[in-house]
Amino acid sequence: MSHITNIISKELKELLTPGSVISVVLMVVLFAGLGGMIDSEIEKAQAFPELCVVNEDASIIEFTDADGTYTWSISSFLEDLYTSSGIPEDELSDYIRLVDSDSIDEAYAIMDEEGIGSALFVDPDFSKDIVSGTRGVVEQIYVYEPTGMFGTVSSSVVSSVMSMINEDLSKRLLGTQIDMTDYGFLTEPIDYNGDNVKTIVNGKVVSGITPQEIAGEVSSQTMMIPIIIMIIIMMVGSLVISSMGSEKENKTLETLLTLPIKRTSIVAGKIIAAAIVGLVYGLAYMVGMSIYMNSLTGTMSSGLNLEDLGLTLSVGDYALVMLSMFLSIICALGICMILGAFAKNYKSAQTMTMPLSIMAMIPMFIVMFSGWYGSGALIQAVTFAIPFSHPMMAMQALMYDDVTLVLSGIAYMVVFAVATILITVKLYNSDILITGLGQNKTVQKLTGRK
Amino acid sequence: MVDALVLNDVRKSYGNREAVHGISLTVKEGEIFGLIGHNGAGKTTTLRMISTLLNITSGTISVYGYDVATEPGKVREIISYLPEDAGAYKDLTGRAYLEFIAGFFASGKERDAMVEKGMRLADLGDRIDSKVDTYSKGMMRRLLIARAIMPSPKLAIMDEVTSGLDVINAFEIREIIREIARSGVTVVMSSHNMFEVDMLCDRVGVIDGGNLILLGTPGELKERYGADTLEEVFVKAVKNA
């Protein structure tokens, strides 16, 4: 064996420990899982949404061409569109809901009752207007849901569908109503944009704003929280675990444990000091990130004022967000103290930070991509179980007055933090801190070592 | 004379492996007691049990009447443990480290007096205000000995206290140990250096494979084995065990 291969072999043995290999495998699994989740979210978002067509009768228009007379309506166009996209005819009623009413308020009530996110409200004079060469009005109505990055894509799909309806009607008018000369009308026979877009936010109807615009504005104000939380947790976690590794390596921990001080005081002291550092980091990052985000979003801002939509936070809400952040840091430190108890030295402590980083990244991606409200029950359960998710979700939840979610998250984090601290104290009272896992009876049984 | 330390049939198991097999011994107040044995014999495990760091599997240990298993807090108030190859917090200066430790034992003027005593014992001159990570091994050991003695413990437990030190540093540290024993502090120490144990210790215990195979004064043991040195006693005792 040459000198260089000798060194490479030694280095590889040192670097590729079971801990580091497991961490890499977990990372691959995490990213593969996230990829799958993003794929399904995009697929879900791009699929034809469930759509309610209100006052369908008003859209029926009679056309005459060389083959004779036929009728056209928005619903018949939609049925053709959905079936040509592979949706079976017998399932069409699951996608297109026709409501015979000329009251827009009734449309809102139906959407609310049946949980339908998008609707097209056809003006009672629609067909009369089209036949007389006047632009017919179709209002797009959306219910805004506080979802993640892809949650509002369905509204843009509806908008595209509306544009297809407009184009189809235009073609038919051009093919039959040759006596019309208003080409503006012939190319854009339907008036469906501007104030004809209505979005229901927190039960309030706002005109001229799409859910995507609201989502963009909300995320520009809330997205930095998950990123900051993730950074703080990874950074503070690494500090605490490394400090435990150093204490063991330098044998200062042995000295500390023989001093006349309660184990709970040692654990609490370490956690509080690291939590203070975490909050200082958090504030520094928040200031830095808000300057960065303001300069970034300032140029791209939609000019939307979230206050007008009732999507603002009170002082009490901010206090809850801060409390949630603080508790999540305490939970992270509790986990770190447990992980740190198993670190043999500074080097092994470095690999111990990986599970924590993964735990911090999972909720960040979930909150950013699908959001709490847009996720399925399983993902919601996983998100809720990870304590760091709660401050990431808190701001958005409070904007939608979902105080229950925030308070239950806070209660969960309190229980989690107390449990981790108690486990840490128990570890500090056991031999594991001094002897490591190798001398543990259960581990010996599992590994077959003596 | 008061019993400073009493071990009664002390056993320690790691999983299915028993590392210490029923050790019993008594150390009197003011004694310097040496534990000798080869690597892995059970010396450090025994010292760690006395220091409240490891739980005792069975048997009892009492320090000045306090039970180590049931009254660890009381025991920690009267002991000082100096682990083998121990270090200090590298980002602190020697003085700050002594202040940190003194803070657990006293406050105000009493704490300041304790730190002064520690600095006198460490005898590091101006270097007491240098960061610990700039210290040589000898300086570090002096600081740690000062840290251990500064709170005036009733029982000082020292594991391989002069291991790896040069002749002068080892000599000076042995002098410090003699001095604290003269002041009434009981010392329990482990060492591989038989010459050091012979010179320093009033009584010696030899541990082999987790068993206490010999106990007595260095003179008694040498006489029993017809040996000139404690090293010879140790080799003969271990071979015959």
Domains annotated on chain B, with CATH: 3-86+153-240 (3.40.50.300)
- Kindly state whether residues A185 and A166 are assigned to the same domain: yes
pLDDT for position A373 = 79
Chain centroid to Cα A356, Å, comes to: 20
Instruction: Please say which residue of A176, A209, A242 terminates a domain.
Output: A209
Asked if B80 and B63 count as a contact pair (C-beta separation under 8 A), the reply is no
Using a CB-CB cut-off of 8 Å, the residues of chain A touching B52 are 257-258
pLDDT confidence tier of residue B127, bands split at 50, 70 and 90: very high
Exposure string for A237-251, b = 16+ CB within 10 A, e = fewer:
bbbbbbbbbbbbbbb
Separation CA A116–CA A119 (nearest Å)? 8
**Quick check: B76 and A259 CB within 8 A?**
yes
Backbone torsions φ then ψ of B215, nearest 5 degrees = -150, 130
The secondary structure of residue A102, as a DSSP letter, is S
The DSSP code sequence of A14-57 is HHS-HHHHHHHHHHHHHHHHHHHHHHHHHHHHHSPPPEEEESGG
DSSP string over chain B: --EEEEEEEEEEEETTEEEEEEEEEEEETT-EEEEE--TTSSHHHHHHHHTTSS--SEEEEEETTEETTT-HHHHHHHEEEE-TT----TTSBHHHHHHHHHTTT--HHHHHHHHHHHHHHHT-GGGGGSBGGG--HHHHHHHHHHHHHTT--SEEEEESTTTT--HHHHHHHHHHHHHHHHTT-EEEEE-S-HHHHHHH-SEEEEEETTEEEEEE-HHHHHHHHT-SSHHHHHHHHHHH-
pLDDT at A302 (0 to 100): 57
Q: At what angle do helices A346-369 and A389-399 cross, to 10 degrees?
A: 20
Is A259 in Cβ contact with B15 (below 8 Å)?
Answer: no
Interface contact B90-A431, CB threshold 8 A: no
Q: Does B77 touch chain A (CB under 8 A)?
A: yes
Residues in chain B with CB shorter than 8 Å from the CB of A439 are 14-15
A410, A385: one domain:
yes
CA distance A435 to chain B (A): 9
A434 touches chain B (CB under 8 A): yes
Is residue A9 located within the same domain as residue A135?
Answer: no
Distance (Å, rounded) from C-alpha A424 to C-alpha B174? 38
CB within 8 Å: A439 and B14: yes
Question: Do B53 and A439 count as a contact with CB atoms less than 8 A apart?
Answer: no
Closest Cα partner for A247 from A102, A61, A434, A70?
Answer: A434
Interval B143-154: pLDDT, tens: 999 999 999 999
Q: Which residues of A touch B17 (CB under 8 A)?
A: 450
> Are A155 and A242 within one domain?
no
State residue B189's pLDDT score: 95
A197/A271 same-domain check: no
| pLDDT band with cut points at 50, 70 and 90 for residue A152 | low
Can you tell me the mean pLDDT for B5-30? 92
Among A290-304, A338-352, B14-28, B57-71, the minimum mean pLDDT is found in A290-304
Of the candidates A257, A282, A277, A186, which has an alpha carbon nearest to the alpha carbon of residue A429? Answer: A257
User: What is the three-class DSSP state of A97?
Assistant: strand
Instruction: Give the model confidence (pLDDT) of A292-308 as tens digits.
Output: 766 665 555 556 677 67
- Residue whose token pair is 């008018």: A173
Domain range enclosing A311: 218-447
* Residue B241 confidence (pLDDT): 67
Q: Does the distance separating the beta carbons of A262 and B73 come in below 8 Å?
A: yes
The Cα A394–Cα A221 span in angstroms is 12
Q: Are residues A122 and A144 in the same domain?
A: yes
Separation between Cα atoms, residue A237 and residue B27, nearest integer Å: 45
On whether both A79 and A116 belong to a single domain, the answer is: yes
In the predicted structure, residue A170 carries a pLDDT above the cut 80: yes
pLDDT of residue A219: 75
B88 touches A at CB < 8 Å: yes
The shortest CB-CB distance from A252 to any of B79, B81, B89 is to B89
CATH number of the domain residue A150 falls in: 3.40.1710.10
Instruction: Mark yes or no for CB contact A434/B17 under 8 Å.
Output: no
Beta-carbon separation of A251 and B83 below 8 A: yes
Give me the pLDDT at residue B203, please. Answer: 95
Q: Indicate the residue among A9, A29, A46 that finishes a domain.
A: A46
Interface test with A, best of B13, B46, B48 (most A CBs within 10 A): B48
pLDDT at residue A17 in the model:
74
Kindly list the distances between the CA atom of residue B129 and the CA atoms of A251, A256, A353, B2, B81, in Å, as whole numbers in the listed order.
Answer: 22, 22, 34, 40, 24
d(CA B144, CA B150): 10
Mark whether A18 and A134 lie in a shared domain.
Answer: no
Contacts of B87 in chain A (CB under 8 A): 249-252
Top-confidence residue, B52 or A223? B52
Based on the fold, state whether residues A386 and A298 are members of the same structural domain: yes
Chain A residue with minimum CA distance to B14: A439
Q: How confident is the model at residue B6 (pLDDT cuts 50, 70, 90)?
A: very high
Mean pLDDT of chain B: 92
Contact B83 A255 (CB under 8 A): yes
CA–CA distances in Å: residue A37 to residues A76, A155, A172, A227, A369: 34, 20, 41, 19, 9
| Chain A residues close to B53, C-beta within 8 Å | 254, 257-258, 434
Question: Strand, helix or coil at A71?
Answer: strand
A223: three-class secondary structure by DSSP: coil
Between A236-240, A293-297, B205-209, the lowest mean confidence (pLDDT) is in A293-297
Site of tokens 């004694």:
B31
φ, ψ for residue B26, nearest 5 deg? -130, 135
* Mean pLDDT of the A159-186 span: 81
| CB of A432 less than 8 A from some CB of B | no
The verdict on B16 touching A (C-beta cutoff 8 Å) is: yes
Give B160 to chain A, closest Cα distance, Å.
Answer: 14
- Report the C-alpha gap between A397 and A429 in whole angstroms: 40
What the block records as the tokens of A54 is: 């209100």
Q: What is the mean pLDDT of residues B223-227?
A: 91
Whether residue A57 sits in one domain with residue A130: yes
Task: Give the total number of structural domains in chain A.
Answer: 3
Provide the pLDDT for residue A177: 55
Closest by CA position to B41, among listed B189, B192, B161, B165: B192
Give me the interface pTM, i.e. the ipTM: 0.92
Q: Do B52 and A262 touch (CB under 8 A)?
A: no
Are A111 and A244 in the same domain?
Answer: no
Contact A446/B at CB under 8 A: no
Q: Is B104 left (phi over 0), alpha (psi -120 to 50) or beta?
A: alpha
Residue A265, chain B, CB below 8 Å: the answer is: no
**Nearest CA to CA, how far is B82 from chain A (Å)?**
7
Q: Residue A162: which of A189, A184, A132 has the closest Cα? A: A189
Select from A175, A209, A243 the last residue of a domain. Answer: A209
For residue B157, give how far its alpha carbon lies from the nearest alpha carbon of chain A (Å). Answer: 11
Cα angle value B122/B126/B129 (rounded, 5°) = 80
- Helix A377-385 with A389-399: angle, nearest 10 deg: 120
Residue A250 to residue B80, Cβ atoms within 8 A: no
Residues A173 and A225 in one domain: no
The larger pLDDT score, comparing residue B156 to residue A104, is at B156
Judged by CB atoms within 8 Å, which residues 158-177 of B form the interface with A?
Answer: none
> What is the per-residue pLDDT for A450?
45
Q: Are B98 and B146 in contact (CB under 8 A)?
A: yes
